[in-house]
Structure formats: structure tokens, C-alpha cells
Chain A
Amino acid sequence: MRPILLNGHTRALTTVKYNYDGDLIFSVSKDSVPCVWYSSNGERLGTFEGHNGTVWTLDISRDSTRLLTGSADNSMILWNVNGGQQLFKWETQTAVRAVAFASGDKLALFVTDATMGQKSTIHIVEIAKDSSKQTSKILNKFVIKGSKATRALWGKLNQTIITGHDDGTVCVFDAKTGEVLKSVKEHSGPITDIQFGTTQDYFITSSKDHCAIIFEAENLSIYKKFETERPVNSAAISPIKPHLILGGGQDAMSVTTTSAKQGKFEVRFYHMVFEEEIGRVKGHFGPINTLAFHPSGKGYASGGEDGFVRVHHFDDSYFKFQFPEERE
């Protein structure tokens, strides 16, 4: 089916995400205004006014009532989705690179950047049920030794925090003590994205080193590795099929030196088990910065350096496609 183009951001997209039910798409970009869209028709539901810098990251509560955004204006904001009001603002020392609601939405984490002499730090805060009683109290603070964290997710049952780092390391922290439980360096470039698979037992990382790796969360052992010719900026695993999508392309700064065709700004579909490329979707005319599967697996959204979000719904042929070995 023809993709729906969400044209509302004025600058490069940084993150797009579906809510749990899949009816809404949230997007943040280098312009300072997060947006929310209907996923079915691409109509813009509203914007969230309050940041004044690049918004790097977002997360949505499971019931889709709350939105967290982290920005380069040194703040994290909690929003009321229904209405777009700012509920609370955490002021930080440096830019916020990652935010995440914990399972149950009672806790959240945010990661601050390592700039201006500050160390990259994971902060854990409580999210009050009643937003009027929200405080800026930091429950826990884990200063990251070594390379700064670029991504962070809550692990299973909120017991761990999984982080991806600028030097390609993937770490598992104990969410209570901040102790590093496990750390592996399988990527040679900065981690650009981490997304869970169908369960929180495995996740996929993408990196500037042109690779994407599926790790088992428990021991960080590699299940599969996928290599491409371009930096990978985002990777997502289908919730219903053993497929994954990779997006990226030549770095924005070196794009002008080649034609768009050679920048490889395509979303690439791989079979997760047989490690084979099964399809490509063109469309963006700049690198793809972020990808998200619809929770039902019936489509995906991609956000690019070109400022567009493209929402795709799969055709029937996609669902029918299977390797003969899969049918057994």
C-alpha cells in the first residue's frame, strides 16, 4: 500500500514510536515540538509545546495517557497526552539522551549526556499517579564509567537496565544497585538503537558500524548478526513474524557527496532466522533515523533525516510470504 507521509516536523526526526494499542504514533525531531498522529490515516492529533531544543527521545505509558520526552534543552518533560499539557519538567545538567517508563509506569529512567565535564548518568525517578503530586526527586543515580550511554531500556520485570554506549558496548545494570552485571563490546561504532523483540528476553541493537545484532538479554550472547554497507541508525523486530527491519544510510554530513540512490536510504527487511534480506522499501531522501513496528505487526513507521515520517501498512502478499522451511 502507498505509505502515508506525516509532514509536520521541520527538522530531522529523532524517534518515532507507536503507543501500546497502536492507534497513535508519537514523533520527536530536531525541531523542539513533539507530535502525535493517528496511525490509521496520518492525521495529526496534536503537538506538545514546551521544549526549546532538539528532542532526542520519547516514551509512552502503557495506557497512552502520559508521554515522556527528553531533550537537548537539558530537560525531561512529562506530558498529558490527552490535551498536550506539560505536567512536570525535570531540569538536568546536560542533554537527555534516553527516557523510558518502567513496566507498570510507576518508575521512569532518563540518561543524561556526557558533556561540559558531566559524566553520562542514569537517573531513576518516581512517576506519581496523581501528576499534581509529582516531585523532581531522584530515587537513584548511576554514574556511567567509560563511554557515554546513547540508549537505555528497562529490562525484564524492572530488574535490570540495558544500555547501549557510544563505543559500541552493551551493558546490563542492576536496576536497584547500579552494578554492572554484564558488559559486551560486539559493535565497533556507537549504538544507535535498542529495541526488544516479541518478549523482553531478546533485543536488537543497531550501530554506526554498519551492523545490527540480536542479543539474548539474559547473558548478552549473540543470536544473530546482520551486516550492511551503511551505518544502521535503527532496527526493529516484527511482533508477529520472524522479520526485522533496518534503517540508516550514509551519514547526513556526507550525503551531498553522492547521489540519493547511493546513500542507500532504504528500509531493509531481513529474515531473522535465515539471515537473508527479503525486501527493501525506498522513499526517504535522507538517512533513516528511527523505525518502529506497529504493535500488531501490520505496518511500520520510519522517520528520516529528511523530516518526514512514513507510515506503511503491509499488503497481503507480505503476510503470505514464507520460506518453505517455516511451514514445517
Chain B
Amino acid sequence: MEEDYGLDFSDIEAQYAVQVPNTFDNIVVVDNVPVVDEAKEEKLLKVIRKIFSSAGTIKPDGITMPKNPNGKSKGFLFMEFESAADAQKAIATLDGYKMDKAHVLVVSKFDDIETFAEMSDEFEEVQVEPYVEKEHLKSWLSDPKARDQFAIMKGDEVGIYFNNKSESPDRCQSKSNWSDLFISWSSYGSYFVTIHKQGIALWGGPSWQKINRFPHPNVTMVDFSPKENYVMTWSPDAFKTPDGQLHNICIWDVKTATLLRSFPTPATKEKAGKENIFFKWSFDDKYVAKMTPGAQGAISVYELPSMGLLDKKSFKVENLMDFYWSPTENVLSYWTPEIGNIPARVTIVSVPSRNIVRTKNFFNVIACKLYWQSNGEYLLVKVDRNKTKTTTITSFEVFRMKEKDIPVDVVELKVSEELIELYWEPKGNKFAILTAENNNQTLNFYEVQPKSAATTSAVGVKQLKQVDAKNISSVCWSPKGRFCVLAGLKGMAGTLEFWDTEDFTKLGAGEHYMCTDIEWDPTGRYVVTSVSYWRVQNDTGLIMWTLAGQELTKQYITGFKQFAWRPRPPTLLSAEDQKKLKKNLKEYSKQFDEEDALESNKASADVQEKRRAQWEEYKALLAKFRAIKESEREERIAIYGFDPEAVNEDVEEVEETIEVVLEESEEIIE
């Protein structure tokens, strides 16, 4: 049957159209060639041939230069190479070649010329995609009551809530299976991060839309740069790059979701755990540094966002062990161990100048560890040394980074004392050291004395307070400093102590049995202790405390996994404004107290209202039951043979008197 169904096959034809093989792949067109007459033709071609021979082999007689009838060249020529690759190379390397000032060569593919020729002369306006306004990523900061948000993961459900102190929190968003592994926030809290098998996703804005996706199969670690412009993802399963290498680490631009560069995990005995030990961001998002540990050790500093190696060379550090950026300057600190006659050394080097700012050598060293104070004012180095052949001693070397020549103060522990952990006070000059001596744990608070005091006294670091830490396994400082929670985590019964380190008063104490995690809110007003299902399967849930240890809410949540406060960006107020605020705090707090009172009055009124309704309901129910009972009286009597409900008035009260002889004694009465 020959019938036209009126079908349009053009789309299918286009799809299956056979590509005519292009035979002009090896021909290029060179434009902007000087116009010459026959006399100079020979010379020009010689020059041209010389220039282009650097790209590849030109076929003999491969150059054709068209001429005008008057014998002058037209100013362009065709050139045939031996292979298409040579032609490609000629385009890549010689397009834009300056023969002289007036003649910059334009080299294009012969095939493209056709396209250029067919190009419409009329200007076609570029279709600009309509502007879609994006939601404000910091919208939560404009909450009228300036409440903080937090995210909770329980079972498969993830929810984000506004904290309402002791009242139940307001839900902002919740979804089941929102995240496959865990949840996280970006450094300034603008993005909420969910982890999936396929990669990570960022969410945010008032409606919690997906903002960007970063594909990275089986990703298990996410690390945002301090100013959240970049993010690093790590996966234990390497993926193959286009040139066949196996890479584990990706560095992304957050706003555009483009992959800046990927790396393999540096080969080492140490496994990269949850903490990323190889890549570290500089404080200002300018650089990311990679550590190559070991004998051929090096620190490679890459500039962001180009990810080019700074000055095209790494910092060579033989036997590099560990390194850290200063939290407030582009300064690197690292240490190398003692090998043979070379002492162990801590080095501080500034970037990008590569000036070594300070080094210090140590002898008989077993191990070092570097701890930066969050303001970058002090670098504390813990040094474990051999005192004798069998005993070791730990000391702390405090580098005063902001003072001239970086003086160093030393604190030594007792020989038998063993350091468990060290905790710097954020933004402060105190640090806490948890030590063990013969199974007795103690917690010592030290303070780095300010400069003036240090010059007058011999010791620049002063011990402030010693606390018995029998049930304490960690110290959790408030993000604003001064206050801290001493906690017995992991099998230590969950003892909690709330301290004010200004005058070392214990503000309060509490207990959260089997507590696994402690999270301060970003303002330092609340502490959340939690028992996560990942570690303990019983009594999972959380308790919210004030910084003084007053329990606000306690919730048992089955399958509770993770709690995460939403971080806040740094304040926009100047130091002066902050000082002013602190001075006038009393005025403000009055206003807040009023608001709080109003809130709690409203809440208690609500409770009263609810209770009244419940009581009414209960009374009605009882009345109903009473009526039913009354109506069933006859049937009941039939069953029992008497009325079991009747108040038995024939009951005889029998009073028994029991006389017991308690004591007998004989007395002779005269």
C-alpha cells in the first residue's frame, strides 16, 4: 500500500543521518598574510613554511595562495598538512602568530570557513535566560526573635527546627530519607548538607530548596573552607579520572558547583579517618594546602580558585609529620621528627613569601603535636621527650605569634603525668589539660599571661586551677569562651559539670547517662547533650541545658542519630559596637526578660486551658460510665445474687481490745 500518512520523519532522519567523512581535516586557512606581488611570493612562502613547519609536516606543494588578476596575492592562503593532527596543532599554536605589527595570522580549519561564510550577517540577539531570583541563604538570621536553628536526624527522618528554649521547637522543614549517611552545615550555616551515595547536596533558603549537587560516589567526608566558598569531599572508593588516574578527593567551588581539581589520597600508612589530615584550608579561602608526609615530604600550597600550585613548586620538608595553618593568618606550622643527629624541629613559615618566621629544635623527642589558639595568637606545641631510658616527660611550648621574634614559654608536666587531651579556650588565652597519673585524672587550667605580665614574671604561663577529673573524659568550651562543660563521655556515666572559668565557679552539674555528644549553640547560651544511636542503642535522645547547667528539655527519641546546631556567620558589628552592647546589656536584658515572661505566661495559660478541657472530658466520661452502671443494676444483681455496689450498712464495727503486758516489775513499797 503506497500511502502517505502525512508523518514527519525529519527528526528520525536527522538522528540517523550518516556523517559524510570529512576529507579536509588536514587543510587550514591562514588569513592576514601580507599582500605580495609575484616578485616577493617566493620569499613569503619560504617564511610561512618555516613558521608552520614547527607545527608539523606540510605536504610538498601544500601551500596554495590565490591571486588577483593583477598578480597580487589576496592576503590569505591554503595549507595542506600531512595529517589532521598537524593541522590541529598549527591552529592551536600558530593562530594569532605575529608576523609583524600589521600582520597577525589567523589560522582556521578549512571546514570552518564554510560555516563562517554561511554565518548570517544579521545580528541574532542572544537569548538571555530570564533572571530567577534566588532565595536569601541567610534568611534564618532575620528571625524576629533571633532564634537559632538546629537539625536533627532520627531514624530515616531529618528535620530542621527553631530552638524555643524549654518550649517545643518550631519545625521548619523535615523529610524522611533526606540524607543517607549523616548531616552537616557549611561553615557559616548558609547551606545544609545531606550525604548520599551519589554525592552531596546543599540545601538552604526559607523554602529549603536544593541549591547544588556535587556528584562524588560513596562520599563519606565533607569539609567546607572557612568562608564556605569551597568544599572538599572525600570518598574511600577512588573514581577514575578521564586520564585514568584513581582519585579520592574532590575540591569544588560551592557557588558554581564546578569541580576545581581532584586528587588521590597521598600514600601513607595512616588511614585518613573522619578528620582530614592531608588537606587543609587557609583561613581566608585563598589557599588549600596538601601534605605529603614521609621522607620525600612536602607541603603543596594551591591557590584558589585556580588550584594552581603556588609559585609552581611545593615546600619541600623532609620527614614531614603534620602541619596546620594559623586560624587567622596565612602562616603554616609543621614539625619534623628527630632522625639521627638532626633534632626534631617545629617550623613556622609565612605564605606566599616563604619566609621562615620561626623555628625551634627539640632533642630526645618521641612525638609532637600542634594546637593553634582560635585567634592565632598562640601556637602550643606538645612535646613528648625521653627523660631517661624508661621515663618520658611531656612539655608545652607556647609560641607567642603576635609578639616580636615570637618568644616561647614552656610548661612541663610531672614525669609520671600523661597527657590525655588539650583544649584551647576559643578566642581566649586559657587552655585546659586533662592528664592522668596512676589512674588519677586531673584537669588543669592554664592561662598565657599577657605580654606586660610575662616580662615581669619569669613564667609566662600561669596555672589557674586544678580540678579533680575522676569522671571527666573531655572538656567542651563554649564557642564564645569563658564557659565550659566538663563531661564524662563514652561509658563514663555521662557526668556533666558546668564551669565559669573567669573565677572558676561550678555553675551547675547534671547527668546524661551514656551521653555521646555535646554541642554548644553558636551563641554559647545553650548546650545540647545527646545519646546517638550510632554509638549506644538504649535511651537515645537529647537534653538541652542552659550554659549554667539548668535542664531545659529532655527528650527520648527512638533511633535518634545526630544533632547539629546551624552555625552563624561572624557578626557584622564592629568591636566598638560590641563593646557598647556589652556595656548596655542590662537594659536589653530587661526587655528580653519581659518578652520571656510574656511568653511563659501565654504558655501556662495555654496549659491551663488544655487541662480544663481534659478535666471536662474526663468528668463527662465518668458520668457516662456511672449512668451505664446504674442502668445495669438489675443484671448485676442477677449475677451476684445481691447488689455488689450497695453500701453495706449492716457492717458491724467490732472493737477488739488486746491487752499485752509490756513489762513487769516488782517494787517494795514502804
Chain A residues near B (Cβ < 8 Å): 62, 102-104, 156-158, 198-199, 201-202, 216, 223, 229, 242, 250, 258-259, 261-262, 272-275, 323-326, 328
Contact = CB atoms under 8 A, between A and B. Distances in A.
B131 interface: no
A325 B625 contact: no
B192 to A, nearest CB: 30
A199 B621 CA distance: 11
A270 to B, nearest CB: 13
Contacts of A325: 608, 611-612, 615
A310 B598 CA distance: 46
B513 interface: yes
Contact of A201 (B538, B625, B636, B641): B625
Nearest to B641: A104
B632 interface: yes
Contact of B615 (A102, A261, A262, A326): A326
A158 B636 CA distance: 10
B556 interface: yes
A104 B625 contact: no
B641 A199 contact: no
Contacts of A272: 618
B538 A328 contact: no
Given A157-B636, A223-B621, A325-B608, A273 B615 contact: yes
A250 B514 CA distance: 15
Interface string B621-640: 11011101100100110011
B639 A158 contact: yes
B615 A103 contact: no
30 contacts: A62-B644, A103-B636, A103-B644, A104-B639, A104-B641, A157-B635, A198-B622, A198-B625, A199-B626, A199-B628, A199-B629, A201-B629, A202-B621, A202-B625, A223-B621, A229-B539, A242-B618, A250-B538, A259-B493, A261-B513, A273-B614, A273-B617, A273-B618, A274-B611, A274-B614, A274-B615, A323-B611, A324-B608, A325-B608, A328-B615
Nearest to A259: B493
Interface string B582-595: 00000000000000
B532 to A, nearest CB: 16
A167 B611 CA distance: 33
Contacts of A324: 608
A103 B493 CA distance: 51
Interface string B460-497: 00000000000000000000000000000000010000
Nearest to B637: A104
Contacts of A201: 624-625, 628-629
B621 A104 contact: no
Nearest to B635: A157
The 9 A-B residue pairs with the shortest CB-CB distance in the complex, in nearest-first order? A104-B639, A325-B611, A201-B625, A273-B618, A229-B556, A104-B640, A199-B625, A273-B614, A103-B639
A156 B632 contact: yes
A53 to B, nearest CB: 32
A275 B613 CA distance: 13
Chain A CB within 10 Å, residue with most, of B513, B615, B621, B641: B615
Nearest to B617: A273
A103 B644 CA distance: 10
Nearest to B556: A229
Given A157-B635, A262-B513, A325-B615, A103 B640 contact: yes
A261 B493 CA distance: 11
Contacts of A202: 621, 625
B512 to A, nearest CB: 11
Interface string B530-564: 00000000110000000000000000100000000
Contacts of A229: 539, 556
A263 to B, nearest CB: 10
Nearest to B614: A273
Interface residues of B, number: 27
Given A103-B640, A199-B626, 19 more contacts: A104-B639, A104-B640, A156-B632, A198-B622, A199-B625, A201-B624, A202-B621, A202-B625, A242-B618, A250-B538, A261-B513, A262-B539, A274-B614, A274-B615, A324-B608, A325-B612, A325-B615, A326-B615, A328-B612
Interface of B: 493, 513-514, 538-539, 556, 608, 611-612, 614-615, 617-618, 621-622, 624-626, 628-629, 632, 635-636, 639-641, 644
A157 B631 CA distance: 12
Given A199-B629, A201-B628, A258 B615 contact: no
A154 to B, nearest CB: 10
Contacts of A250: 538
A223 B625 CA distance: 13
B492 to A, nearest CB: 12
Contacts of B538: 250, 258
Contacts of A216: 621
Nearest to A197: B625
A40 to B, nearest CB: 14
Contacts of B513: 261-262
Contacts of B556: 229
A178 B657 CA distance: 53
Contacts of A323: 611
A195 B331 CA distance: 72
A216 B625 CA distance: 10
Contacts of B626: 199
Contacts of B635: 157
B643 to A, nearest CB: 12
A187 B517 CA distance: 32
Nearest to B619: A273
A324 B605 CA distance: 13
A23 to B, nearest CB: 13
A287 B493 CA distance: 20
B429 to A, nearest CB: 40
Contacts of B608: 324-325
Nearest to A223: B621
A202 B632 CA distance: 16
A157 B645 CA distance: 13
B639 A157 contact: yes
Contacts of B514: 262
Given A103-B639, A229-B556, A157 B632 contact: yes
Contacts of A223: 621
A199 B636 CA distance: 13
Nearest to A327: B615
A199 B611 CA distance: 23
A258 B493 CA distance: 10
A250 B621 CA distance: 34
A275 B617 CA distance: 13
A201 B612 CA distance: 23
A81 to B, nearest CB: 19
B245 to A, nearest CB: 49
A275 B622 CA distance: 17
B612 to A, nearest CB: 6
B556 to A, nearest CB: 5
A328 B612 CA distance: 9
A102 B638 CA distance: 13
Contacts of A273: 611, 614-615, 617-618
Nearest to A254: B538
A160 to B, nearest CB: 13
Contacts of B539: 229, 262
